[in-house]
Structure 1
Amino acid sequence: MYHILRVLLYRLWVVSTFTLFSSAIIFWFYGFFLALTVFSFGISGILYSAQDLLLYYPNDPPDSRVFVLQPSNYKLPYESVKIKSKDGFKIHMFLIKQPTISNHRPTMIFFHGNAGNMGQRLCNVSGFYHKLNINILLVEYRGYGLSEGSPSEQGLYMDAQTAFDYLMQRNDIDRTQIILFGRSLGGAVAIDLASRLEYKNKIWALIVENTFTSIPDMAKILLKWRCLNWLPMFCHKNKYMSLHKMSSVSSATLVVCGACDALVPPRMARELLVRCGAPLKRLAVLSGGGHDDTWTRPDYYAALQRFLLDVPPLPDEARVTVVHTV
């Protein structure tokens, strides 16, 4: 609670001071009730806008918007790509491909968490590359790393669609073996994409790790304010209603969670799995895994590999690729 108040006061002190000052002036000239009304609307607007500050951390650590570690630091072959999203922002991505002996390998679209940039996930990605023998497309959301714009829920969804559409335009990958992978906030982005009617039948597999059921659910856990139980949904600027969307997911799904995750309760992983509409769905609970380090557990890559070996091919009707204009 102290941390949240400190962040709000530090980042919004100008507008907070203006709200308080204007309320005092109105009180002096027009009385208590009008001043209270103005103050209430002002604080409500501040709290609504501040939700982005509490969810998105593109500047953590401070140089994350100007320095992105390159895959070459891990001796990974890559292409640095910038693609325009449907609303005109340039989205930065890394495509890390296996040697071109065969194009019939799965390709993972990697959606990272709410802090930093995609370069900070390269150690994990190196494990995917060498131990799972797959291609990886890392996506840097708008407002993160070298991508343009500012983060928002609908914006991140659009960035995910941009990344998928980009892969559908390439002829050097197997477009029938696309894996969506999302960790924490990235899990919510991956679930949204996998649940969309125009994409769901073209996704081979979905893997989410230490992700939540929704932002309103997380707010109740982190803030512990009883009033949140009665707060109308429209008061939440960011919702990421993953639990609701899971029933529309039909791709083979693996839900991974660390047994010691202190941020997102492991029970949320089980709730997501139960709600999932996929014929093949599994839960992998890794002993000793925390929110940010589950991928370092000894059985991590083996659990993902076992799952992928059991994922069936896409039905023939799903192999007809529709290329979207980006």
Structure 2
Amino acid sequence: MPFFPLGTRQLTLEEMHIDKRLECKQVAVETRDKCELAGIIVKAINGDDNITDVLFDDREPIIIYFQGNAGNMLFRIPVFAKLILYSTNIVKKLQIVAIGYRGYWFSTGSPSEKGLQIDALSIYEFVRVLYPKNPIYIYGHSLGGAVALYLASNEKIQKELKGIIIENAFTSIKDMVTTIYPQKWLPYKYLVNIPLLIRNKWDNYHVIQGIKIPILFLSSRNDEIVPQEQMIELYKKAKMSKKKVWVEFENALHEDVYSHKGFVEAIKVFINETIADQGD
């Protein structure tokens, strides 16, 4: 299931060239089934405020970031830097917790849909202990969108979240197989209709229909991996969401939304408009 570009399993935090205005702390999360997940917490340096001592403002938003199906969290640091360091008049401070799934980076175990679901729950519990009062958002890119939607489908957790950010997610694994292998003479589009042959389903199309909290959709018009039509379908099916926002990036591809104008503004406006929400 995972794809690792060369060397990403061995790449360390110390080898990364990180903006000196950022603090990154490597952390580990133990899952319910005893896997150890490796990840990072990223924030801006603020004088004597040291992330090692976990000093923070209870009002400061926390984003739990779920990555796509390639590489490791260290490659997402430019995304985090853009969100944390880019100056806007609203939501000036936030922290990002980015924990790798089992089998990714230095995390133990082997990835599967069930395993990543356990990871999501364990990561959320870790964050809630570390930040018991802070407003929490979950952000999922591509595969991470499926993980984020699964986590939010837990009714208890959904009530505690302020919102979800979905970037270039797909409707289901079945739909993605059909997209990648459209040829009628290939067997894949037929095999996905045999339930026992497909272990990882990630049926976001149905899961999103039960999400009531605010959702921000970040969609690349030129997505070369996930057809934009799948994001449009997810948006249409999110009928129960009390607030859904669609932001399209005309020239963006699957991986580079963060580098396009309006990315940071869209997220911070969304946070600003939902952070005071007290729920149902």
Q: TM-score, normalised by structure 1?
A: 0.75
Which one has a larger percent strand, Structure 1 or Structure 2? 2
State whether structure 2 residue 254 is matched by structure 1 residue 291: yes
Aligned AA (2:236): V
Q: What's the offset of the Cα at 1:233?
A: 3.0
Runs of 4+ more than 3 Å apart: 68-72, 97-101
1:152 is matched with 112
In 2, distance between residues paired with 1:174 and 1:97? 17
Give CA-to-partner distance per residue, 1:65-86, whole Å, 9 cap, x none.
1113457722221321112100
SS in 2 for 1:208: strand
Select the residue among 73, 84, 87 that pairs with 2:18. Answer: 73
- Of the candidates 298, 301, 322, which is equivalent to residue 264 of structure 2? 301
AA paired with 1:137?
Answer: V
Shift, 1:304, TM fit: 1.4
**Counterpart of 2:103?**
143
Query: Residue 178 of structure 2 corresponds to which residue in structure 1?
Result: 220
Work out the CA distance in 2 between the residues paired with 1:235 and 1:164.
Answer: 30
Does structure 2 conserve the Cα–Cα contact (< 8 Å) formed by 1:74 and 1:122?
no
Matched, 1:252 2:214: yes
Name the structure 1 match of 2:159. 201
Instruction: Count matched residues.
Output: 259
Indicate how the Cα distance of structure 1 residues 103 and 184 shifts in structure 2: closer, same or farther if over 3 A, else same: same
Is the partner of 2:130 in helix, strand or coil?
coil
CA contact (8 A) 1:68 1:118 kept: no
| Cα offset, 1:315, TM superposition | 2.5
- Partner secondary structure for residue 156 of structure 2: coil
The 8 Å contact of residues 207 and 253 in structure 1, kept in 2 or not, is answered as yes
Establish whether residue 129 from structure 1 lines up as the match of residue 93 from structure 2. Answer: no
When the two chains are superposed, the root-mean-square deviation of aligned CA atoms in Å is: 1.9
State the secondary structure of the residue aligned to 1:205: strand
The answer to which structure, 1 or 2, has the higher relative contact order (CA under 8 A, 6+ apart) is 2
Mapping 1:1-326, distance limit 5 Å: 52=1, 56-57=2-3, 59-60=4-5, 62-69=6-13, 73-75=18-20, 76-98=22-44, 99=46, 100=55, 102-131=57-86, 133-171=93-131, 174-175=133-134, 177-226=135-184, 228-229=189-190, 231-276=193-238, 277-315=240-278
Q: List per-residue Cα deviations over 1:8-66 (Å, max 9, x = no partner).
A: xxxxxxxxxxxxxxxxxxxxxxxxxxxxxxxxxxxxxxxxxxxx3xxx11x21x21111
Tell me by how many angstroms 1:312 deviates.
Answer: 4.8
Provide the secondary structure at the position in 2 that maps to 1:204. strand
Segments of 5+ residues of structure 1 without an aligned counterpart are 1-51, 318-326
| Structure 2 CA distance for aligned equivalents of residues 91 and 261 of structure 1 | 29
Q: How many angstroms does 1:102 deviate by?
A: 2.8
Name the TM-score, length of structure 2 as normaliser.
0.86
| Counterpart amino acid of residue 103 in structure 1 | D
Quick one: structure 1 residues 312 and 108, their matched pair in 2 at CA, closer, same or farther if it must change by over 3 Å? closer
User: 3-state DSSP class of the match of 1:237?
Assistant: coil
Instruction: Using the aligned pairs only, state the percent identity.
Output: 26
Q: CA deviation at 1:116?
A: 0.6
Counterpart AA for 2:254: H
The structural deviation recorded for 1:220 is 0.3
User: Aligned partners of 1:238, 1:147: CA distance in 2, in Å?
Assistant: 20
Q: Give the Cα separation in 2 of the matches to 1:206 and 1:83.
A: 22
In structure 2, C-alpha distance between the alignment counterparts of 1:316 and 1:284, rounded to whole Å: 23
Q: Is the 8 A contact 2:82 2:258 kept in 1?
A: no
CA shift at 1:95, angstroms?
A: 1.4
Give me the whole-angstrom Cα distance separating, in 2, the residues matched to 1:116 and 1:186.
13
Q: Tell whether the 8 Å contact from 1:68 to 1:117 is kept in structure 2 after alignment.
A: no
> 1:218: how far off?
0.5
Query: Is the CA contact 2:28–2:39 (under 8 Å) kept in the aligned structure 1?
Result: yes
> How big is the shift at 1:295?
1.4
SS at match of 1:92: strand
- Say which SS state the counterpart of residue 216 (structure 2) adopts: strand
Query: 1:154: Cα distance to partner?
Result: 1.0
If you compute each CA radius of gyration, which structure gives the higher value, 1 or 2?
1
SS where residue 18 of structure 2 aligns? Answer: helix
